[in-house]
Amino acid sequence: MAHEIHLKNNKYRQWVKAGLGLGYLKEGLAPFCDDIGRQQHNDIINKIQQTKTPQPNIPCGACQITTLQPDHVRVSKGICPLKQDKCNCCFPSNKRPCPNNVCGAIYDSIIQDHASMPPAPFWKNSDVQQWSTEPWEVCKCFINAPGYKDKTSTDDTDCTGLLHVIINNKYFHSHIGCNVTGPNNLFLKVRQYRNMIFHSSSMELEESEANIYLDDMIAVLQDNKELVHQPAAQQAVLKLQDLKQKDFVITTECSEEILKQIKDEMTKMREFTENAATKVEYEELKNKFIELERQLAQEREEQTRKYTELEAVITEQKQEMKKLKVEDSPQQKQLQYEKAKSGCRTQLIEHYRSDILKVSAIPLQPDEENYYFSDIYIRPTITNKIEKNRGSLRKKK
Ligand SMILES: [Zn+2]
Ligand SMILES: [Zn+2]
């Protein structure tokens, strides 16, 4: 069966292993990103509340990215002081200020916190109407790739998205030991793994390569500044180390997890299938998904078969036990009879001892008190009188 050949194929197993690793990496990074994202949002909002007049009115749900007027103004025609390409400040004619005096300032903060030069927030991933209340909506502007618009929390953002936020958001840099702006740094390297794994033309990976991926993911989660002290990150490290064990086997859960990730990847890609290259890539990914789904169906079938077999064994054992119980019952009855018999005997002995063996000391004149028969019994003397010839007697005791 194709399915079994595939499972025995070590390279395919290594590929699944690496895919699962990405899931653990995301699990390990999500609480950290959530935490720092909230701190950043707090800082932005506090600063706005302390510095802006008139007093900002939070929340604001009235602004759109296409029409929002930033707080900063252009230096001259087409020149943004914050150096953002195609900045809203450069097209003032169709822009209007935030009616609650908050969104324009958040827009400025995002550009100022963006690490790339020139700053390039990815506005399409984010919903401006939630900026004043949802930290992750602000953070998503730092994900420099499409497909995250409907990801409303760190939990449903994949590891690529989380790593984009860490790398592109200056606010995060002080919480990371690694120099994430340096060339070929570990975080940049690991950020490419998801694409390398899911967009590779084969679903195969050398074991040595898979282990390098996992080791790098572990190294990211052990970043010496804060991540190394984060329980979730360290939990993920344990899981990744577990994955590296030689006896890794693919379970239905593993396959389901991989399928979930590929499905996610496909949803993301749907947003940028305009150009031909990504269309091909998308088709490839879709084929992978179909192939995996087919395998999973076979795996499920196999499990159902095993389960049916197990059920049969259990039923057989149940019947065996029933039979044993039935066979057991005459013995059980005999035992109960013996017990009752012995109880009856004990009762009789008790009755005999207390009521029969005690008698009055003088039987003709019954006493008030009774005594044990054995205490007052005196063995009687019996004499036999034997008559001999002519009336002579001989006594014999
Ligand atoms: Zn500008
Ligand atoms: Zn607004």
Asked, for residue 253, whether it belongs to a domain, the answer is yes
Asked, for residue 257, whether it belongs to a domain, the answer is yes
Predicted pLDDT of residue 5? 44
Name the closest ligand to CA 57. Answer: 2
CA of 130 to the centre of ligand 1 (A): 21
Are 13 and 248 a contacting pair, CB within 8 Å? yes
How much of the chain exceeds pLDDT 70, in percent? 87
**Total domains present in the chain:** 1
Name the closest ligand to CA 71. Answer: 1
Asked, for residue 93, whether it belongs to a domain, the answer is yes
Give the position of tokens 């990744």: 240
Question: Which of 353 and 165 is assigned the larger pLDDT?
Answer: 165
Each residue of 20-39: pLDDT tens digit?
999 999 999 999 999 999 99
Each residue of 224-246: pLDDT tens digit?
999 999 999 999 999 999 998 86
Asked, for residue 306, whether it belongs to a domain, the answer is no
Name the closest ligand to CA 81. Answer: 1
Asked, for residue 295, whether it belongs to a domain, the answer is no
Res. 266 pLDDT band, cuts 50 70 90: confident
- If you average pLDDT over every residue of the chain, what do you get? 85
CA of 57 to the centre of ligand 2 (A): 9
CA of 267 to the centre of ligand 2 (A): 29
CA of 128 to the centre of ligand 1 (A): 17
Predicted pLDDT of residue 272? 64
Each residue of 5-19: pLDDT tens digit?
445 578 888 888 999
The DSSP line for 314-330 is: HHHHHHHHHHHHHHHHH
Range among 156-160, 284-288, 366-370 rated most confident = 156-160
Predicted pLDDT of residue 8? 52
Asked, for residue 366, whether it belongs to a domain, the answer is no
- Domain hosting residue 37, numbered range: 2-272
Each residue of 323-332: pLDDT tens digit?
655 655 555 6
Asked, for residue 340, whether it belongs to a domain, the answer is no
Asked, for residue 341, whether it belongs to a domain, the answer is no
Predicted pLDDT of residue 155? 95
For ion ligand 2, residues whose CB falls within 5 Å: 60, 63, 98, 100, 103
CA of 175 to the centre of ligand 1 (A): 28
Are 57 and 102 a contacting pair, CB within 8 Å? yes
How much of the chain exceeds pLDDT 90, in percent? 51
Each residue of 46-104: pLDDT tens digit?
999 999 988 999 999 999 999 999 999 999 999 999 999 999 999 999 999 999 999 99
358 by DSSP, 3-state: which? strand
The DSSP line for 240-262 is: HHHHTSTT----HHHHHHHHHHH
CA neighbor of 167 nearest in space, from 127, 84, 215, 159: 159
Q: Does residue 2 have a pLDDT over 60?
A: no
